[in-house]
Amino acid sequence: MFDILAFLFEQYFTLDNCPDRGTLAKRLSAAGFEEQEIDEALDWLNEFEELDATPYIALDALPLLPRVLHPREAARLTPDAQAFFHYLSSSGALGTGQRELLVDRLMQSTLLQLDESAVKRVALMVLWRHGDDLANLLIEELLFAGDAAPMH
């Protein structure tokens, strides 16, 4: 599913540019993604788009304080994923509300263990939803940064 989300950003750059669900499903199928994975990603994306952002926006008014993962959250993230999450948190790449939205969306995943790649892709979606130029620059950096230069 997370590969589809990265593919969507690469193809459409903003949520507003995405076609309707039926067209998108056909394009994803033509790109080689499996039907079950497409359905899961599109359902996840619909939930994400319909999500009431008001509580998250309210959190952005608060100062950016360190975020400690709850033991249930930490248990779902691999050590590399936790390190990358803490990098995003401490660097200021995400606001307080965006960071909480990231954690909430990660916990909605059906995967038992989430790796760094999953955290990166959900962070991309959170930033993509934000939709400003700075967010898009960070998204490009996350997507296209070489593996030889760790970000944390």
- Asked whether residue 73 is domain-assigned, the answer is yes
At 132 the pLDDT is 56
Q: Give backbone dihedrals phi and psi of 50, rounded to 5 degrees, phi first.
A: -85, -5
Domain count, the chain: 1
- Asked whether residue 132 is domain-assigned, the answer is yes
- Asked whether residue 151 is domain-assigned, the answer is no
At 86 the pLDDT is 93
- Asked whether residue 32 is domain-assigned, the answer is yes
pTM of the model: 0.73
Sequential pLDDT tens for the chain (152 residues): 768 877 877 787 666 677 888 898 999 999 999 999 999 888 877 887 788 888 888 888 888 888 999 999 999 999 999 999 998 888 888 889 989 999 999 998 888 999 998 898 888 778 777 765 555 566 666 665 655 445 44
- Asked whether residue 152 is domain-assigned, the answer is no
- Asked whether residue 149 is domain-assigned, the answer is no
Q: What are the beta bridge partners of residue 114?
A: 77
Q: Is the dihedral of CA 43, 48, 50, 52 positive or negative?
A: positive
- Asked whether residue 89 is domain-assigned, the answer is yes
Range of the domain at 64: 2-144
At 108 the pLDDT is 87
DSSP state of 16: G
- Asked whether residue 85 is domain-assigned, the answer is yes
